[in-house]
Structure 1
Amino acid sequence: MTQRYDLVFIGLSLSSSWGNGHATTYRALLRGLKAEGKRVLFLERDVPWYAANRDLAVPDFCDLRLYDSVDELVSGHGETLFAARTVVVGSYVPEGRKVIDAVAAIGPTQLCFYDIDTPVTMDLLLRGEEDCLARRQVPLFDIYFSFAGGEVLERLEREFGAQRAVALYCSVDAERHAPAADPTPKWDLGYLGTYSDDRQPKLEALLIEPARRLPDMRFVVAGSQYPDDIDWPANVERIEHLPPDLHAGFYQSQRFTLNVTRADMVAAGWSPSVRLFEAAACHTPIISDFWRGLDELLPEDEAVLIARDAGDVVTILTALSNSHREDIARRAAAIVRQDHTGQARARDLVAALAAPVMERRAAVAGARA
C-alpha cells in the first residue's frame, strides 16, 4: 500500500552538509514540520560527493530515500508523489528541469518550488541556463517559495510568471543553537561559510585585513573549498569542514561572528543566510556586510553591527563595550527565537499551503450561495 505523506520534498541534499547550505536549511524546516505533526518524505539524488560525506544518513524527523536517476524517481516513487498532499521541488536539484517535468506529469495535488538560491536562479534564467529550472516551468507551481523576500517576490510574479511567490526564509534549529552556559571565547572574530569567488573580497576586507591589523587577536575561518594560495595571517585559524552539530559550539566560542553575503544576494536584498540566524540564536554578536532588508530583520546597532570596511571591524573589535555587545546579542536572539526558528518557518509554510485551498473553498461556497 502506498504511504501517504503530508509533504514530499525533492531537494539537493538532506543527508550531507558538506559544501552546501541546503542541508541545514532543510533540517531545521523538516524538524519544525515534524513538531507541527506533519509526515514528510525527502527524496535526494544519490551522488558520489554527498555519498562520501554523509553526516545524517538516517534522520529522525522524516523519511529519507535516495534515487539514482529521474527514471528511478518516477518508477520508484511516482505513486507516493501522486498521493502526497504537497510536493516541493527544491533549487539546484540535479537534472532539476527533467525532475520538474516528470513530477508535473504525475499530477500531484499541490506542486511547489522552494528556491534556496533565488537571486542566483533568476540570474541563471535571464542568461538562459536552465539545467535546474526552466523559465517556462515557473508558472507550473502553485506556490514559488523563495529564500529571498522583498522586491524579489514581485519580480518572480511580474517578470517570471510565478502564480504566487511567497517568502520562506531559512531558519535555525533552536534546540541545537543556544547560548553557552559559561561563555569563554576562543576567537575574537570568526566566519563560517564555503568558499565563493564573489564573497572572498569581502572576507579579505572584513576578516583577513583586520587580522593583519590586530596581530594580538585571534580569528578563525571554517568552511571547505578554499584555494591553497590564500595568504592567511598567522592569527587566522582554518577549519576545513564543520558539521552542523558543531556549529553552535563554534559560534559560542567567538566574541563576534562575521556574516558575508554573496553578490547576487546583496543585489537582490532581503536574503538572510542561515548562518545569520544560527549565530543570533547562540547569542553571538553579528558583524555583517550591508544589504537591503537586513535592518528589517535585525535592526542596525540594536541587533546587528554593519561593517563596510576593515576599519569598521577594527573599531568594533577594539572599542565596543561589553555591555553594548551583550545587548546586541540578546536583542538578535530574541528576534530569531520568535520569528526564525524551524518550527516558526514550518508554520509559515503550512499556512501558505493552506491559503489556496481556503480560497478555492470560499470561491465554491460563493458560487453555491
Structure 2
Amino acid sequence: MKSIAFYGSSLLSSYWNGAATYYRGLLRALAARGYEITFYEPDVYDRQKHRDIDPPDWCRVVVYDGTVPALKAAAAEARHADIVVKASGVGFEDDLLLAEVFAAARPGALRIFWDVDAPATLAELRAAPDHPLRRMLPDLDMVLTYGGGDPVVSAYRGLGARACVPIYNALDPSTHHPVPPEPRFAADLGFLGNRLPDREARVAEFFIGPALRLPDQRFILGGSGWHDYPLPANLRSLGHVPTADHNAFNTTPRAVLNIARDSMAEVGFSPATRVFEATGAGACLITDYWQGIEQFFKPDEEILVARDGQDVAEHLAALRPGEAREIGARALGRVLREHTYDHRAADACALFRTHALGAGIPS
C-alpha cells in the first residue's frame, strides 16, 4: 500500500489553518518512507492568496474550486489510491466531501477519517445522532487523531469507530529549528495563535493578564483576528505571521507561550503543533497546564507550566536569559530524540500495515 489520497483544509497555506504544519510534517515524513501522496484542498477563505509554501516535490497538491462540481471531481480521484483519508475541518461542504470521497474509494482501499480537532468533532457528533460521520464510523477502517489520548479514543469507540489511534503533533526539524534572533520579534514573552472563540478567554487570562501585571516587560502577539482587541501598551500585535517567520518568532523572545483552546485543555493529551515548533527552535516554552504534559516534556526542566496568568507572570519575572536558554536547549534535545514527524510516521506506517494485513490486503 503506497498511494495516499488526502483530503484536508490546506497544505500550502497556514492562513486560518492551524493544521497546515501538522499536515506538512507528517506527510513529508510519510513520503520519505515511500508513499506517493496527493493532497486535495479547496480554494476557500483566501488561503491561496496567503500561501506559505509552494507545492512541494514530495507531494502532489490539487487545489479545487470551492464549488460542488469541483468537489465531486476531486473526490472521484480517490478511486486511484490505496489509502483514502478525509480530514476534519476541510472548510467547504465537509459532509458532502465525506460521502463523496469514501463512496469513490475502491474496494480494498484503507478508509481513514483523520481528526485534527477531535474535541470539536466529538461535541458535534454527540449533538447530532444522525450526523453523516457518526453513521459512517462503523464502516471506516479507523479514525486517527492528532491528540486526545484515552478520552478521545474511548469516545470514538463508543460512537462506533472500529479503531481510534492518536498520531500526535511533532517537529519537522527541516522546517522548525534554531535561527539567529531578529530585532522585529524582540520581546520578553511571545504568543502565536489566531483569535478563536474557545481560545479568547484563555488568552486574556494567560497572556494579556500577565502583560498588565508586568508593564515594564515587552509582549508580542502573532496571529489573525486580534486587530480590534483592546491591548495594553506593552503588548504589540503583529497580525498573521507566516510560517517562514515562525523560527525567528520562537527563537527571539526570552520565552514563548502556548495556550490550549478550551476544548483541548479539557480533554488533555493534546499538545499543540506550536509546542513542538517552539521547542524545536530552542525556545523556552511556558505552557498552560493540560493533562499528559509529562508524557512529552519534564516540567521545570524542559518546559515551564502555568496554571493561570499569575503563574505566567511569576515565571517571567523570575526567568533569567541564561536559564531560559538552558531550558530551551533541554527541550530541543528531548523533541529531537522522541517527538519528530519521522517518529509519528513510523507509528502511522505500522497502523497502515496492520490494518491492511487484517483485511487481507497485501501491504
Deviation digits for residues 169-203 of structure 1, max 9, x if unmatched?
12222112212357988111000000022222222
CA displacement at 1:326 relative to structure 2: 3.1
Between the aligned residues of both structures, percent identity stands at 34
The answer for the alignment partner of 2:137 in structure 1 is: 138
CA displacement at 1:321 relative to structure 2: 4.3
Amino acid at match of 2:204: E
Amino acid at match of 1:194: N
Mapping for residues 24-63 of structure 1, pairs under 5 Å:
24-63=21-60
Deviation digits for residues 51-110 of structure 1, max 9, x if unmatched?
3323334223210012234543444562x4222110111001222222222222223311
Q: Does residue 1:92 correspond to 2:95, yes or no?
A: no
Work out the number of aligned pairs and report it: 357
Deviation digits for residues 281-332 of structure 1, max 9, x if unmatched?
0110111111111221112112211112332222211223445433322222
Taking a change above 3 Å as real, the CA distance of residues 46 and 220 of structure 1, as seen in their structure-2 partners, is same
Amino acid at match of 1:173: D
Aligned counterparts of 2:223 and 2:181: Cα–Cα separation in 1: 26
Tell whether the 8 Å contact from 1:5 to 1:39 is kept in structure 2 after alignment: yes
Aligned counterparts of 1:211 and 1:335: Cα–Cα separation in 2: 30
Tell whether the 8 Å contact from 1:149 to 1:166 is kept in structure 2 after alignment: no
Deviation digits for residues 97-146 of structure 1, max 9, x if unmatched?
22222222223311101100001100111122988x52112222212001
Mapping for residues 1-369 of structure 1, pairs under 5 Å:
6-68=3-65, 69-75=67-73, 78=76, 80-93=77-90, 94-108=92-106, 109-128=109-128, 134-180=133-179, 186-226=186-226, 228=228, 230-360=229-359
Aligned counterparts of 2:284 and 2:50: Cα–Cα separation in 1: 31
The answer for the alignment partner of 1:367 in structure 2 is: none
Tell whether the 8 Å contact from 1:156 to 1:162 is kept in structure 2 after alignment: no
Tell whether the 8 Å contact from 1:36 to 1:343 is kept in structure 2 after alignment: no
Mean Cα deviation higher: 37-46 or 61-70? 61-70
CA displacement at 1:231 relative to structure 2: 2.0
Aligned counterparts of 1:206 and 1:55: Cα–Cα separation in 2: 28
Give 3-state SS (helix, strand or coil) of 1:303's partner.
coil
Taking a change above 3 Å as real, the CA distance of residues 127 and 178 of structure 1, as seen in their structure-2 partners, is same
CA displacement at 1:264 relative to structure 2: 0.8
Tell whether the 8 Å contact from 1:70 to 1:99 is kept in structure 2 after alignment: no
CA displacement at 1:161 relative to structure 2: 1.0
Aligned counterparts of 2:232 and 2:74: Cα–Cα separation in 1: 52
Amino acid at match of 1:304: I
Tell whether the 8 Å contact from 2:13 to 2:20 is kept in structure 1 after alignment: yes
Amino acid at match of 1:298: F
Any runs of at least 4 consecutive aligned residues in structure 1 with deviations exceeding 6 A, and if so which? Answer: 182-185
Give 3-state SS (helix, strand or coil) of 2:41's partner.
strand
Mean Cα deviation higher: 52-61 or 31-40? 52-61
Taking a change above 3 Å as real, the CA distance of residues 77 and 320 of structure 1, as seen in their structure-2 partners, is closer
Give 3-state SS (helix, strand or coil) of 2:155's partner.
helix
Amino acid at match of 1:7: I
Tell whether the 8 Å contact from 1:119 to 1:148 is kept in structure 2 after alignment: no
Give 3-state SS (helix, strand or coil) of 1:156's partner.
helix
Tell whether the 8 Å contact from 1:8 to 1:40 is kept in structure 2 after alignment: yes
Taking a change above 3 Å as real, the CA distance of residues 34 and 316 of structure 1, as seen in their structure-2 partners, is same
Quote the RMSD (CA, aligned, Å): 2.4
Aligned counterparts of 1:166 and 1:312: Cα–Cα separation in 2: 33
Taking a change above 3 Å as real, the CA distance of residues 73 and 209 of structure 1, as seen in their structure-2 partners, is closer
Taking a change above 3 Å as real, the CA distance of residues 231 and 76 of structure 1, as seen in their structure-2 partners, is closer
Deviation digits for residues 131-168 of structure 1, max 9, x if unmatched?
8x521122222120011232234323432111110111
Mean Cα deviation higher: 248-257 or 19-28? 19-28
Mean Cα deviation higher: 53-62 or 177-186? 177-186
Amino acid at match of 2:56: P
Mean Cα deviation higher: 272-281 or 97-106? 97-106
Aligned counterparts of 2:354 and 2:261: Cα–Cα separation in 1: 32
Amino acid at match of 1:24: T
Amino acid at match of 2:282: H
